[in-house]
Amino acid sequence: MAIPSPKNPILSAQNLCVESVGAKESFPVLTDLNFSLEPGKILGLVGESGAGKSMIGRTISQYLPNGFAVTKGTLAFDGEDLVSMAAERRRSLLGREIAFIPQEPLSGLNPVLTVGQQIKEHLLRIGLAPGENWRERALKEFESVHLPHGAALLEKYPHQLSGGMCQRILIAMAFASRPRLLIADEPTTALDVTIQARIVKLIAEMQKRDGTAVIFITHDLRLASQISDEIMVLYAGRPAERGPAKQLFSAPAHPYTRCLQLANPTITGPRRGLFILPERMPGLRVLKELKGCRFASRCPNAIEACTRTEPPLADIGPNHIAACIRTEKTPDIVPPPLAPGREIASSKIHLNGEKLTKAYTTAWSPFAKRSVFKAVNSVDFALGEGEFVGIVGESGSGKSSLARLVVGLDTPTGGKITLAGRDVTANGNADRAYRREYIQMVFQDPQSALNPRRRIGSIVTQANEASGLHNSTRERMDRAAELLKEIGLPPDAAMRFPSQLSGGQKQRVNIARALCTLPRILVADEIVSGLDVSVQAQLLDLLLKLRDEHGFSMLFISHDLSVVRYLCDRVMVMYRGEVVESGRTETVFADPQHAYTRSLLAAVPPDDVNAEWSPVLAEAGYQVE
Amino acid sequence: MRMFATIAKLLVKRVLTAIPILLLVSALLFCILRILPVDPAAMSLPPNATVQEVEAMRTEMGLNLPLYQQYGIWLNKLFHGDIGRSIHFRQNVTSLIGSTLPATVELALIAMVVATVFGLAGGLFLFYVRGTRAEAVMDFISILLLSLPEFLWSLFLLLIFGVFFEVLPFTGRLSPGFERPVVTGFLLLDSLITGKLSTFFNALEHMILPCLALGIALSPSLMRVLRSSLLDAYQDDYIQQARLRGLSEKRILIRHGLKNAILPTLSLMGVQFGFLFGGTLLVEIIYSYPGMGNLMVDAIRNADLPIIQGAGLTYCIAVLVISIVVDSLYLILNPKLRVR
């Protein structure tokens, strides 16, 4: 398949270096980047956050963050250097020849302008055919991205639409000018799996139609291997490996690629342990001083020679290069054995829900009839001691509403919740106090869940304030030290502020806070989404380790089915407020009974790169949009 | 269409909530002023009146009825547009307020226009020079302006343009010799309606200094809010996305940035405008401007209860009207507030 085509590359980088240029010293952000992208091809850029993936997109547009600049090399678009090009010339390319699809579709559109106003502005800028009406053209573009009711859509504001619809609109805008290069920066990270699959397929479809070259930036190696022709794995601003997608994925040559792959849980086949990449990517300051391979500090195969000189990107196959001196050892990296499964004593039920319902009624108004919306509709569930139960479903399926009912942030409008033998449905003051001892919640976004003005030590022992017990400074500092040790943070972290920690560390703190008073049940709402796979693997294993030590049970809400498959004993699939299927995780995922479960599973990119990914089953009635 | 429906809903809702607010304020005004150790009966009689005469007057004025009955009578009269007679001016309060309110409204409106123009221009400029050395200078200037109150501006402007250069008048609303046309009570409007252009320009000249003083004093906070809302808006993805679509910086600023950043600025303007009604007081005194401010000062000095009550109610109604107008504007400019 890798027949070299005689076409000229649409984008080519030669020895491209981007540095953060400070007042005193400068740090390299992208180092010696070489690649070329031919028309009609898709290049997948993969790596952890901080690897420099998005910096490439920003370099192409030359909208670099303040203090960053290209210091060496060239980046040519169709033979013209984008870096040295006059700003006006570059601006005329943007939106016409070079288009971008953003990560956050909802915030990518201006909230105070209608969709019509925004697409009109874009269409008028890129120019319409003589006699063409912008409205007709917009509807045509909407049709090509399979957006129904285009005319009504033009009158809508972004907040009235779903993320998937906004992303389709942005894709329609991006392809309206038939661009020659498209940069899609994590275009599906903020979306549901089912919508992710459709959006990715859509980008591929449009790309084929127009012969557009695409740079597809993602942290998901599995997804990249499905859509891309070629993949470049970046590590700390430098390519670690580059090669044809399928080959790179099925036989990764660089240990980093292999580790990334093994850090991600599988969706099919036997469950395996997760490879835990230790620590973090080196920071800019460390990188500058570093002599040897930048991955050496985390590499399971590193030897003394690796720390002496930076390994060059060497050929290891047709069109396949890797920056490692021991590529032959890469296949030796294997995941650790899976922790032995737990037998759940189902006799000991901690938490029980019967016909649990949460209905919302619209506010009274003299102008409209009140309507009822059931966020959670007659849900039955049970959580045994030490059991991890996953709740999966798309956004709007009622997962988070159910979690709020369980922890007592909301009071159910129907049904019954029993917690360790006590009926807590009424959610009165006594129920709440009782609940606090039993259940704690871990929130999704550690950035906003941790008070930025408090030190970590005081954050993790916050629960002591409410109970009034062990609330002396001494006791709290002691407890904080214990908790930090359990979650694997250094003791001096207690004196730091949240802003001084990385995303993964913050999420650990978030977990530690919930564990402070040793609750019997944790409710975790999407606590690993938005984190790198390496950090995700660390956190998943941390949760399993903590369960072994403390024996708590957990309701684990996630849209990521492979994570649920790895972590949870049982799973509940929710659709529009109802549980449509539940059972042992392995059984449900291996032999799903409900059509909705099947479409959720089909939406996940398969583990086998050669397997057919046909995500859009379009089972009647289970289309969220 | 949906927008108008939403605004109509808002209007109905706000008018309905305004009624209890007005009742409460009127009750407060009535009670507090009745508790004051001032006897309206004694005040409306010459100083040499006898005790019997005062008693007779009290009975005549209904002052020996229970308080709630007095309030009922007062409220009933209020509904018929009768707030009573001024004790000091010996004139109907309604007509006193009717003749001074338009003057203050005119002053406040034009001052607000001045503040908006200076505020928007200054805010855009502050934002435009962000990250440069000029920003530090502008920042310093804007804080300096912020710390100067309107009466200082009044005095500065009066001394510079009125006394030193003698280019602008600084007392009253019209120069002597001009006849005041009365149609609506709004001088600028009336002089235009009656076609007396020279009167119009003379009145305008009189308004320049007080309006400038008020406008300049209000503008720095608008500048700073607009600048920081623009900085916030520019953190959002849609700005970056607009750049990546190749739109010009100017277009991004006006169409995408300003349209979002104007919202917090607008709510500040609403608050300021409400404040202006009480805030014109010092400026009115300095420029001997015959508005509500001057009337209030006289009324307070003479413990003229009916005027204080009337002015208090007027102020309350003005603030309610302004907040309804600002909220409607907000609905027009911010689609997120419209009901889905």
| Residue A205 Cα, gap to closest chain B Cα (Å) | 21
Single-letter amino acid, residue B86:
S
Residue A21 parent element (H or E): strand A11-21
SS3 per-residue string spanning A39-105: CCCEEEEECCCCCCHHHHHHHHHCCCCCCEEEEEEEEEECCEECCCCCHHHHHHHECCCEEEECCCH
Q: Do the domains A349-591 and A11-261 match in fold?
A: yes
List residues of chain A with CB under 8 Å from any CB of chain B.
61, 63, 66, 91-96, 99-100, 102-104, 107-114, 121-122, 125, 157, 159-160, 170, 173, 365-367
When the pLDDT of each residue in chain A is averaged and rounded to a whole number, the result is 88
CB contact under 8 A, B333 and A108: no
Interface test with B, best of A110, A217, A367, A373 (most B CBs within 10 A): A110
Mean pLDDT of A238-265: 93
| Residue B293 Cα, gap to closest chain A Cα (Å) | 39
CA distance B231 to A107: 16
B213-253 confidence digits (pLDDT tens)? 999 999 999 999 999 999 999 998 999 999 999 999 999 99
Residue-level pLDDT at A272: 87
Please tell me which of the candidates B237, B248, B333 has its beta carbon nearest to residue A108. B237
Q: Which residues of B touch A113 (CB under 8 A)?
A: 255-256, 259
Nearest residue in chain B measured CA to CA from A121: B247
Q: Which residues of B touch A155 (CB under 8 A)?
A: none
| Residue B336 Cα, gap to closest chain A Cα (Å) | 7
DSSP letter at A605?
Answer: P
- Tokens read off for A101: 């699809």
| Residue A110 Cα, gap to closest chain B Cα (Å) | 5
Pairing of β A42-46 and β A68-77: unpaired
Note the residue count of chain A.
Answer: 625
* Residue ranges of E strands in A411-510: 414-419, 422-423, 439-442
Partners of A218 in beta bridges: A46
Interface test with A, best of B245, B256, B263 (most A CBs within 10 A): B245
CB contact under 8 A, A91 and B340: no
pLDDT band at A523 (very low <50, low <70, confident <90, very high): very high
Looking at the predicted structure, is the pLDDT value of residue A194 above 50?
Answer: yes
Least confident residue range of A174-183, A228-237, A344-353, B136-145: A344-353
Q: Which residues of A touch B260 (CB under 8 A)?
A: 110-112
Residue-level pLDDT at A620: 38
Please tell me which of the candidates A107, A114, A365 has its beta carbon nearest to residue B236. A107
DSSP letter at A311?
Answer: P
Global pTM value: 0.84
CA distance B81 to B73: 13
Q: Is B37 exposed, middle or buried (0-12, 13-18, 19+ CB in 10 A)?
A: exposed
Residue-level pLDDT at A367: 63
Residue-level pLDDT at A67: 86
CB contact under 8 A, A173 and B245: yes
Residue-level pLDDT at A279: 75
SS3 A170: helix
- Tokens read off for B107: 């002053």
Mean pLDDT of B74-103: 85
Nearest residue in chain A measured CA to CA from B260: A112
Domains of chain B, with CATH numbers? Answer: 101-337 (1.10.3720.10)
pLDDT band at A625 (very low <50, low <70, confident <90, very high): very low
CB contact under 8 A, B247 and A121: yes
Residue-level pLDDT at A619: 43
pLDDT band at A346 (very low <50, low <70, confident <90, very high): low
Q: Which residues of A touch B245 (CB under 8 A)?
A: 94-95, 99-100, 122, 125, 173
CB contact under 8 A, B238 and A93: no
CA distance A182 to A100: 6
Q: Could you please state the CATH topology (level 3) that the domain comprising A349-591 is classified under.
A: Rossmann fold (3.40.50)
SS3 per-residue string spanning chain B: CHHHHHHHHHHHHHHHHHHHHHHHHHHHHHHHHHHCCCCHHHHCCCCCCCHHHHHHHHHHHCCCCCHHHHHHHHHHHHHCCCCCECCCCCCEHHHHHHHHHHHHHHHHHHHHHHHHHHHHHHHHHHHHCCCCHHHHHHHHHHHHHHCCCHHHHHHHHHHHHHHHCCCCCCCCCCCCCCCCCCCCCCHHHHHHHCCCHHHHHHHHHHHHHHHHHHHHHHHHHHHHHHHHHHHHHCCCHHHHHHHHCCCCHHHHHHHHHHHHHHHHHHHHHHHHHHHHHHHHHHHHHHCCCCCHHHHHHHHHHCCCHHHHHHHHHHHHHHHHHHHHHHHHHHHHHCHHHCCC
When the pLDDT of each residue in chain B is averaged and rounded to a whole number, the result is 87
Q: To 5 degrees, how large is the angle CA A540–CA A546–CA A551? A: 120
First to last CA, chain A: 37
Please tell me which of the candidates A96, A102, A160 has its beta carbon nearest to residue B237. A102
Least confident residue range of A155-169, A249-263, A567-581, B266-280: B266-280
Instruction: Compute, in degrees rounded to 10, the torsion defined by CA atoms A311, A313, A315, A318.
Output: 150
CA distance B200 to B207: 11
Looking at the predicted structure, is the pLDDT value of residue A617 above 60?
Answer: no
CB contact under 8 A, B244 and A61: yes
Q: Which residues of B touch A88 (CB under 8 A)?
A: none
Please tell me which of the candidates B245, B255, B335 has its beta carbon nearest to residue A94. B245
List residues of chain B with CB under 8 Å from any CB of chain A.
5, 9, 12, 131, 236-238, 240-248, 255-256, 259-260, 333-336, 340
Please tell me which of the candidates A94, A107, A122 has its beta carbon nearest to residue B238. A107
Query: What's the CATH number for A11-261?
Result: 3.40.50.300
Nearest residue in chain A measured CA to CA from B131: A66
Domain residue spans in chain A? Answer: 11-261, 349-591
Q: To 5 degrees, how large is the angle CA B137–CA B141–CA B145? A: 170
A30-62 confidence digits (pLDDT tens)? 988 999 999 999 999 999 888 888 899 999 999
Q: Which residues of B touch A102 (CB under 8 A)?
A: 237, 240-241, 244
Closest Cα partner for B18 from B316, B327, B308, B331? B316
- Contacts for B255 with CB less than 8 Å, ≥ 6 apart: A113, A121
Please tell me which of the candidates A61, A112, A121 has its beta carbon nearest to residue B335. A112
B247-257 confidence digits (pLDDT tens)? 999 999 999 99
Q: Which residues of A touch B334 (CB under 8 A)?
A: 112
CA distance A19 to B316: 60
How many angstroms separate the Cα of A588 from the Cα of each of A5, A560, A591, A600? 45, 15, 5, 12
Looking at the predicted structure, is the pLDDT value of residue A368 above 90?
Answer: no
Partners of A235 in beta bridges: A238
- Tokens read off for A455: 């030190």
Rounded to 5 degrees, what are φ and ψ at A389? Answer: -115, 125
Nearest residue in chain A measured CA to CA from B334: A112
Alpha helices in A290-409 (DSSP H): 399-407
Pair A480, A533: CB distance under 8 Å? no
- Tokens read off for A518: 């040793």
Partners of A417 in beta bridges: A353
CB atoms within 10 A of CB B223: 26
Mean pLDDT of A409-431: 89
SS3 A394: coil
* Alpha carbon B17 to its chain's center: 21
Closest Cα partner for A203 from A217, A219, A187? A187
Interface test with A, best of B14, B229, B239, B244 (most A CBs within 10 A): B244
B3-39 confidence digits (pLDDT tens)? 777 788 888 888 888 889 989 998 888 887 777 777 7
pLDDT band at A621 (very low <50, low <70, confident <90, very high): very low
Q: Which residues of B touch A107 (CB under 8 A)?
A: 236-238
SS3 A586: helix
Size of interface A-B (CB pairs under 8 A): 74
CB contact under 8 A, A96 and B9: no
Please tell me which of the candidates B131, B238, B334 has its beta carbon nearest to residue A109. B238
Q: Which residues of A touch B5 (CB under 8 A)?
A: 367
Residue B203 vs residue A284, higher pLDDT? B203
Least confident residue range of A168-172, A606-610, B151-155, B258-262: A606-610
Residue-level pLDDT at B11: 85
Mean pLDDT of A156-182: 92
Nearest residue in chain A measured CA to CA from B2: A155
CB contact under 8 A, A114 and B335: yes
Q: Which residues of B touch A55 (CB under 8 A)?
A: none
- Contacts for B64 with CB less than 8 Å, ≥ 6 apart: B58
